[in-house]
Amino acid sequence: MEAEWSEQELQRRQKLQALRSQGIEPYQSRFDRTHTSKEALAVFEQVEKSAGADARTDRVALAGRLVAIRVMGKATFAHIQDHTGRIQLLAKVDKLGEESYKRFTDLDLGDIIGVHGTLFRTRRGEITGELEDFVLLAKALRPLPEKYHGLKDKELRYRQRYLDLIANPEVMDVFLTRSRMVEETRTFLKGRGFVEVETPVLQALAGGAAARPFRTHHNALDMDLYLRIALELYLKRLIIGGYDRVYEIGRIFRNEGMDQWHSPEYTMLELYQAYTDVEGMLELTESLVIHLAERVKGTPTIQYQGQEVAFTRPFKRIEMVQAVSTAVGQDVSQADEPALQALIKKHNIEPKPGLGWGGLVAELFEELVQDTLVQPTFVLGHPVEVSPLARRRTSDPRLTDRFELFLAGEEIANAFSELNDPDDQRSRFEDQARARAAGDEETHPMDEDFLTALEYGFPPTGGMGLGIDRLVAILTDQPSIRDVILFPSLRARHAEP
């Protein structure tokens, strides 16, 4: 094993053995910290206001990872880092004693230590903790990556996120922002009377969306199950059962391709509100997104990848069919399928097999319009063919009372007036089955149990789903959802070229 260790790793292990030979345990079970680094800095600034230039605090206890050390003879400056930031330390031989001071200077970057001492401000103006004593809490046996050159590789950062968090403190800020956004979502929905629930992750049918599922096998039941591809159908069952407003923030799994905006597992918010419709969902979605932007960023206007995005009312609204008509230069509402196929070919688009009028319109929208929607934009009027669970429009039965919210060229939310006619829903499922037979593997399965539930009476309902990862990425100016998922899915090392 020693042959596999680098020279630095070998030196650290030798230090580990030396400590144990002196009766010092390098892995402690507890340290009673009184302040984080941020709290300690704030405490000193308060003391300084009353005590002036010679201010010094009472004894404090700090703990963190050693990220810098400069030995200067009989005095050593160092920095420790915790989840709130960094703070400077000063170790002096006349304060610690020869033996303890030598142990401090023998510490390695990455070691986790606890210290006791008082805070003062150096002549250079930096708030510093002067050590009275310290304890090694966990010896780091591997060296940290070099600060400026060691962790720039994206793949390595995703694969070893713990090193990314240590070397790039701003990354932790992104995930703290994500946590705050989820918390603010719950606060907003609680204020509107929604109840948070949990629904099955393992399901007999993968319903609620058009996507390929992951399959697994339950040994005790001796049956195949699927990881859920949506939260929708079980939440609707709860509305049927009498809940008025329900939501879930949960993990979704889709066995599909991966890119900057798609991951095989990601986090969704789905909510359902009885006795409202797509207009109610438009107001709720707009209010929620503006609330999150203002609470998380402190401003309704942000910068995303060099573009200014303004979360101000009212969000722009466009019709899908009209937007496609503008993009192709002709009225697609009057076009038949051969005409749409010709437009698809003209624009070098490769559609899914078996698409009818609605599916072809949706393909044209995705390829020609979506990327242009930088500012928050509601796209309304999706074709029935691509909306198997949405209510038909009274004015045009080819379309549905549905919208998607687009932001920076990406879909952020999807909502509609829910279909509550069980016979119409059965007909839609049958259409989906025919599309599957024609070669589309991402169609909705026939769900007899859900149809049974609908037959007991499903009140008029509005539903909405919002992609947590995508919105966090945009609010934190990250180019990919991988940058806001702590441990994104990656190809196995042995399978990489």
**Residue-wise pLDDT tens digits, 9-28:** 999 999 999 999 999 999 99
Kindly report the backbone phi and psi dihedral angles of residue 183, in degrees, each rounded to the nearest multiple of 5, phi listed first: -60, -45
Q: Is the peptide bond before 445 cis (omega within 30 degrees of 0)?
A: no
Domain ranges of the chain: 2-144, 166-315+375-490
Burial 71-85 (b: 16+ CB within 10 A, else e): eeeeebbbbbbbebb
Rounded CA separation 140/67 (Å) = 12
This model's pTM is above 0.85: yes
Nearest Cα neighbor of 282 from 380, 399, 189 is: 380
Beta pairing partners, 259? 262
**Residue-wise pLDDT tens digits, 163-221:** 899 888 889 999 999 999 999 999 999 999 999 999 999 999 988 888 899 999 999 99
* CB 239, CB 233: distance < 8 Å: no
**Candidate CATH numbers 3.30.930.10, 3.50.50.60, 3.60.70.12, 3.40.190.10; the one for domain 166-315+375-490:** 3.30.930.10
Residue 141: count other Cβ atoms within 10 Å of its Cβ. 17
Nearest Cα neighbor of 275 from 154, 397, 193 is: 193
Rounded CA separation 16/18 (Å) = 5
The pLDDT value given to residue 432 = 82
Q: What is the CATH number of domain 2-144?
A: 2.40.50.140
How confident is the prediction for the chain on average, in pLDDT?
93
Kindly report the backbone phi and psi dihedral angles of residue 481, in degrees, each rounded to the nearest multiple of 5, phi listed first: -70, -15
Ranges in the chain, pLDDT < 70: 1-3, 146-152, 493-497
